[in-house]
Amino acid sequence: MRSLKTLIISCCFLSFCYSAIAQTTEISFITASSLRTNPGDNFENSGCQVNGFGPNPTTLWGSRIRVVGKTKIYSISSGFPSLALFAKGNVNSGSDYSNSVLSIEYPFKANKTYQIQILGQGADYTTDGNTKPADYINPVLWVKLDNTPEIITNVQDKCNESLSPVEKKVDRYAKLIADNSRNTPGKSYILKFSPLEAKSALKITLDPSPADPSLRYDATFRFSTVKITELPYEEEQSRIIASYTNAPRPPRGTPGYDIEVPPTSPDRGSNPRPGGDNSNIATNFTIPPYQWNTTNGESTFIISNLNILDISNCTVLGALVNSGRSSNRERFNLPTTFKNNNLTYEVIDGDLIIKSKNSDGTPPSIDIDFSVLYKEKK
């Protein structure tokens, strides 16, 4: 009895400690449509009465929201109440590209880590039943922390289809979600930012990039909820990986596919590359379930821009071993079987390709951490 009471007290204490360090702000768009029916609602001054939200700040449950581009508020009667952002690319010709931008005003602090969770539903207007034409692919979500909540754009009509500039960049303050899954419901994406300086807004752009004339887009992303959780500072991995896993892999240097990947800031001890022609370079990365590209029962993930000459080892990181200062993680050299997934790798044109197969023919259902030691082409 005493041990049970001790366990309960310990659980309550741990729960209290976590809540003390983790503060979550939830921005829910589920009831946004009902607010429009109230006299004198906040949407009157948004700048886009037709779409509800617009370029002027609109308060939704304590958060100031801005939107530029074609959007729509779906009501509860639609079956999935939400705020939808639209994106289009090359549907009729090579010049009809448009995107949409969502800005959420928030006081991001320096030297904290923020977990961003995006909940929603993908949708498109190109399906025949449940089959999407082969030349259509999903738009991407560019997510960034910015210095201003205003959406800077020179488009003439901020309330309808338009194309605002987007930085094709992945670094400490900008992330890319390129989901190749054609399943529309139940989307959940989790990203982390560790700012070294204060920021004032979270911006999410639904964008038809890469702007490849051989690809077509005509889709929405319906946001139900965005959660921002403040956590103690965690340093980011030393190398950030960026690739369009939603689109076919083109030859290296194809225009429109380039993503800028600046080196991680050295202010908090990023790992510089050692000198010498024979030096090994170590990099760690994580592959979430939604980033695998699955075809014919095999899932792949491509890591570009490593310029690999030779790999010393490629390992998957498992559970913690020991505890305290001497703790480390189990390491399994590829090829290996990990969590019922057969993992292998190969190098093509300096890019690393991780492959996974399982009995269900599906991507791994969990985040998997990898570590690679390699030599770079000179």
Going by C-alpha positions, the residue among 158, 137, 159, 129 that lies closest to residue 219 is 137
User: Does residue 295 lie within any of the structural domains?
Assistant: yes
Is residue 198 assigned to a domain?
yes
In a domain, 337, yes or no: yes
Same domain membership, residue 340 and residue 225:
no
366 and 300 fall within a common domain: yes
Dist CA 190 CA 115 (whole Å): 7
Residue 112 maps to a domain: yes
Kindly list the distances between the CA atom of residue 17 and the CA atoms of 80, 114, 280, 285, in Å, as whole numbers in the listed order.
Answer: 35, 17, 41, 29
211 and 85 fall within a common domain: yes
Inside any domain, residue 209: yes
Distances (CA, A) of 282 to 55, 203, 220, 273, 333: 44, 32, 38, 8, 14
- How far, in Å, CA of 136 to CA of 193, rounded? 31
Per-residue model confidence as pLDDT tens digits over 248-292: 877 767 778 888 887 654 444 444 444 445 567 888 888 888 888
The answer to whether residues 143 and 59 belong to one domain is yes
Taking the chain (378 residues) in runs of 10, the rounded mean pLDDT of each run is: 49 48 86 66 76 87 92 86 91 78 97 94 65 77 96 92 91 90 79 94 95 84 95 77 81 79 54 50 83 87 83 87 62 91 91 92 89 85
Whether residues 211 and 314 fall in one domain: no
Query: Cα–Cα distance between 199 and 147 in angstroms, integer?
Result: 5
| CATH number of the domain encompassing residue 73 | 2.60.120
Q: Which residues pair with 58 in a beta bridge?
A: 65
Q: How many domains, in total, are found in the chain? A: 2
pTM as predicted: 0.74
Residues 164 and 286 in one domain: no
Residues 76 and 213 placed together within one structural domain of the fold: yes
Task: Answer whether residue 275 is part of any domain.
Answer: no
Look-up of token digits 């995107």: 99
Domain extent at residue 169: 21-35+44-231
In a domain, 245, yes or no: no
Indicate if 27 and 95 belong to the same structural domain.
Answer: yes
Strands (E) in 134-238, as ranges, are 140-146, 174-177, 187-193, 199-207, 217-231
In sequence order, what DSSP letters do the residues of 66-121 get, joined into one string?
Answer: EEESSEEEEPGGGSS-EEEEEEEESSSSTT--BBEEEEEEEEEPTT-EEEEEEEEE
b/e for 245-263, b at 16 or more Cβ within 10 A? bbbebeeeeeeebebebee
